[in-house]
Amino acid sequence: MRYIFFVTTVGSIYEAVLPLIEKKRDKGEILVVVGTDEAEKFFSEFTDFKLIRVKVNPNLIDKKAKYKIIGNIIRSKLEYRKLFKDIKDSEIYFCGCSFSIVIYSYVKKLSKNNKVFHCGNTADEKFIDYPIEKSFRAYIMRWVAKWLMGVETIIGNRMGVPIWMLDNKFFKNITQINDYGDIETTSKKYANKVDIIKDKEILITIGDLLEGGGNYAESESFIKATDELITILEKKYPGSYVIKPHPRENKLYGKMAECKNIIPPHIPAEFLMDHPWKTVIGTVSTTLLSASEKKIPRVISIMDLFQWTEKGKREKEMWRENMIKNKNILIPEDLKELKSVLRKQNQI
């Protein structure tokens, strides 16, 4: 039996892909198909599985290639014929239900002659907070997806940006699964390969909220806040912290960019959660929620220590609502309160 895993995000590596691979690796051939640089780097560095890198933009278009949509559609047809046309009687696994329209078109075609499994929630279940867009541009996007890519979609609106999300019709011949295997054991196995975190007590998980990360934060304010954080840590806990950039929005600024202890962006932060951290610090991210679920003693968001753009304020409040529900996440209002919280580090 051949098992083929489509990977579109770094997060899915931890959540589903590797636990499933560990269950299947002794039963047949493993083939991993990646759509991002980060996923490719991870599997190249940490595994020896056969790897295929999809060359066509998985999202079909982006800000830099708005006008390449027709060319990318044609290239996707050619790429499918080259890589997947002859695959039959295999098991296909994929995660996610938004953005990666090219990958989903490949999966849809493969479902005719293979058993296909989807990991996680459908769009209706996962994106209930995103309003469904019914504009003219949404109509065009749905038309392109269905008639040129063969994928049934709905169009969600994420902070003013329309995104492709899979319609429930897409899952007609696809089996939904939520049991991926032993995630904790798999996580520990791969986390042991990350030497840089040994003997460290503080994890800073940070994403680029400036130009490369959506223009959510005011530049001067954001850099000042992260610089102040590093200044405090260097004074109180030198050598005790590491920085984990976001897989995609991974540019660091100011004093953070000068730090030596930086975890490669392509390593999923979730693999690091079983390390005995005393403190995990971030802005807004699922990593903070994961750290809280793991009962790490102190989880801190510095979202209130810098100014957000008008666009970013909506994103901030969405995250604030999620974090307030989680009583283990601290959100200091100012630098004085942050210093007070960090001063208790040695009391853990």
pLDDT tens digits, residue range 268-293?
A: 887 888 889 999 999 988 889 888 88
DSSP 98-161: BS-HHHHHHHHHHTTTSEEEEES--HHHH-TTSPBP-SHHHHHHHHIIIIIH---EEEEEETTE
Rg (CA), the chain: 21
**CATH fold of the domain at 194-347:** Rossmann fold (3.40.50)
Which CATH number does 2-187 carry? Answer: 3.40.50
Pick the residue with more confidence: 3 or 199? Answer: 3
Segment 67-96, tens digit of pLDDT = 688 889 999 999 999 999 999 999 999 998
Top pLDDT among 156 and 93 is at 93
What pLDDT shows up at residue 129? 57
- For the chain, the average pLDDT equals 87
pLDDT tens per residue, range 111-148: 999 999 999 765 444 444 578 888 999 999 999 999 99
The residue ranges of DSSP E strands in the chain, in sequence order, are 2-7, 29-34, 50-53, 91-95, 115-119, 153-158, 161-166, 174-177, 202-206, 241-245, 279-282, 298-301, 329-330
Mean pLDDT is highest, among 94-98, 212-216, 292-296, for 94-98
Asked whether residue 347 carries a pLDDT value surpassing 70, the answer given is no
Give the per-residue pLDDT at 40. 92
CATH 3.40.50.2000 range(s) for the chain read 194-347
